[in-house]
A = this chain, B = another copy of it.
Amino acid sequence: MEILQHHSTLATTLRERRQRLAKMIDFPAILWSGQRSSRNFPANVYPFRASSHFLYFAGIPLENVAIFLHGGKLELFMDEAPSSHALWHGEMPKREEIAQAIGADGAFPLSELPSRSTGAATIAVQDVTTYQQQTQILNRSVAPADGAEEIDGELVRAIASLRLCHDPGALSELRQAAAVTVEAHQAGMRATPTAKLEAEVRGAMEHVIMAHNMTDAYAGIVTVYGEVLHNEQYHHPLQPGDLLLADVGAETPMGWASDVTRTWPVTGTFSSTQRDLYEIVLAAHDACIDKIRPGIEYLDIHLLAASVISQGLVDLGILRGQVSDLVEMDAHALFFPHGVGHLLGLDVHDMEDLGDLAGYEEGRKRSSRFGLCYLRLNRPLKAGMLVTIEPGFYQVPAILHDQQLRSKYQEVVNWERLAQFSDVRGIRIEDDVLVTEEGSEVITAALPTHADAIEQLVQ
């Protein structure tokens, strides 16, 4: 297994993580890795992705394994592969080898797990088969991770607080994911002038990710229909005048994610209307990043993006009125309907399996406001947090043709002026920003954002 060979510091990193956990909870915890889900027949499975909470403490994407954490110690529960397995899958590392790689304090077959599970907390995994095993072995009900109760709830809060701020081991992985993602976007830009379909640009980007033996952290978006926020179609032709929006991020073999978006002109040249709106999104992007430092409320970063975008649209004559009034009435959300970003770590929306527990400071709830309801992060920032900054401008038919919204915002939108920008469907600029003691560091900064630099890469 590749990972056994390369990470001599892994055991130290993992030991420190579980020692930090031990300071927060005084009961044992069992975390399951999960197992593969079948695709079209049992032997044809989806690529395995271990549970992120498991990966945080076990480091290695082991299938069908559990770890027992208590008092800063880790015990590994796994079955050895049967010997028939070697013909098809090669020799697997032995339990003891893996135990050594992750610095386990003990290693046992899975059959011994039930006798060790009394009083242990856990977090529900995503795959249904393992989830059923969790309830069987613990011999109690286990709520889904976003509804964890009692000791499971305490465990979830403890792990979330640990995972919020990244240690050096995590940052090393996150920087690797970021570097490969930057390279993938550069390849996508270079491939665009000769590509006829979105899929061809996507292929060039995925080529880079796979060549580094990484995977996608999420279903990539590579589309000329950037106004479809989670577009997963890649069959459209690229036509002169189109903007291509690519939101693609790599994930390291150990599970750490990157999440980057760039928007570039298919021809290599922005039209003047495209450039006008691009500059507004970029101004919001830059202003948000400038403001990031420990202690700042992420909500204020989001509202700053809303203000900068509103101001820009007022300057272009698309919106009318005072910026502060426009933001208060969510007018910006007609064109920027999502949050300015989210936590990033082992998950691209880090710990979203826990609902808003990680993203929202205790006691805070999602707003129902049109301009805030999709904000995934609402906490004061702390050094070690990695967040995305991803403002955007979109012309979403489902919003702009909504009669209720149109009449609510009738007075503040200059619809004729807006019509002059019909060659912009969607623009987003997204980077991964580490909160540091001094302020912030854009770990994806190697990928240009300025319109001129983007144009030069698309050649």
A: residues with CB less than 8 A from B are 1-2, 37-47, 49, 51-52, 83, 86-91, 126-129, 195, 197, 199-200, 202-204, 206-213, 218-219, 225, 228-235, 253, 255, 337, 346-349, 351-353, 396-399
In the complex, chain B residues whose CB is within 8 Å of the CB of A51: 40
Known: A38-B127, A44-B349, A129-B128. A398 touches B83 (CB 8 A): yes
With known contacts A349-B41, A397-B86, A397-B91, A234–B206 Cβ distance under 8 A: no
| Chain B contacts for A42, CB-based, 8 A | 126, 352-353
- Write the chain B residue with the least CB distance to A227: B90
- Contacts A41-B349, A91-B397, A207-B207 known; list 20 others, CB within 8 Å: A2-B233, A37-B46, A40-B52, A40-B255, A40-B346, A40-B353, A41-B352, A42-B126, A44-B347, A44-B348, A87-B229, A87-B398, A89-B228, A89-B232, A90-B231, A197-B211, A197-B213, A199-B213, A202-B211, A213-B234
CB distance from A237 to the nearest CB of B (A): 11
> Which residue, A40, A43, A204, has most C-beta atoms of chain B within 10 A?
A40
- Per the bound structure, the CA–CA distance linking A52 and B352 in Å amounts to 31
Shortest Cβ distance from A337 into B: residue: B87
Q: How many angstroms between the C-alpha atoms of A374 and B417 in the bound complex?
A: 68
Verify B44–A218 contact, CB threshold 8 A.
yes
Distance to closest chain B CB from A161 (angstroms): 18
Q: Is the CB of A210 within 8 A of B199?
A: yes
B39 engages A126 (CB within 8 Å): yes
Are A202's CB and B210's CB within 8 A?
A: yes
Smallest beta-carbon distance A142→chain B, Å: 16
5 A-B pairs with least C-beta separation: A203-B211, A90-B228, A86-B398, A207-B207, A203-B210
Q: Which residue of B lies closest to A52 (CB)?
A: B40
- Measured between beta carbons, the chain B residues less than 8 angstroms from A210 are 199, 202-203, 206-207, 234
Closest B residue, CB atoms, query A89: B230
| Closest chain B CB from A202 CB (angstroms) | 6
Which residues of chain B are within 8 angstroms of A45 by Cβ–Cβ distance?
219
Decide: B347 and A40 in contact? CB cutoff 8 A: yes
Kindly state the separation between the CA atoms of A336 and B411 in the bound complex, as whole angstroms.
76
A347 / chain B contacts, CB cutoff of 8 Å? 40-41, 44
Q: How far is the CA of A446 from the CA of B348 in the complex (A)?
A: 41
Q: How far is the CB of A221 from chain B (nearest CB, A)?
A: 11
- How distant is the Cα of A49 from the Cα of B211 in the complex, in angstroms? 25
Note all chain B residues with C-beta closer than 8 A to A91: 397-398
* B46–A46 touching, CB < 8 Å: yes
Give the docked Cα–Cα distance between A248 and B202 (Å): 19
**B-side contacts of A212, CB under 8 Å:** 199
Q: Give the CA-CA distance A414 to B209 in the complex, in Å.
A: 45
A126, B38: Cβ atoms closer than 8 Å:
yes
B44–A39 touching, CB < 8 Å = no
With A and B bound together, what is the CA distance between A399 and B49 in angstroms? 30
Give every chain B residue within 8 A of A202 (Cβ-Cβ): 210-211
**CB closest residue in chain B, given A87:** B398
- Judging by beta carbons under 8 Å apart, are B199 and A203 in contact? no
Are the CB atoms of B88 and A126 closer together than 8 Å? no
**Alpha-carbon gap, A197 to B2, bound state (A):** 13
Are A39 and B49 interface neighbours, CB within 8 A? Answer: yes
Q: In the assembled complex, how far is the CB of residue A427 from the closest CB belonging to chain B, in whole angstroms?
A: 16
Among A39, A46, A90, the most chain B Cβ lie within 10 Å of the Cβ of A39
Distance of A115 from chain B, by nearest CB (Å):
27
The answer to whether A235 touches B218, judged by C-beta atoms less than 8 angstroms apart, is no
Q: In angstroms, how far is the closest chain B Cβ from the Cβ of A38?
A: 4
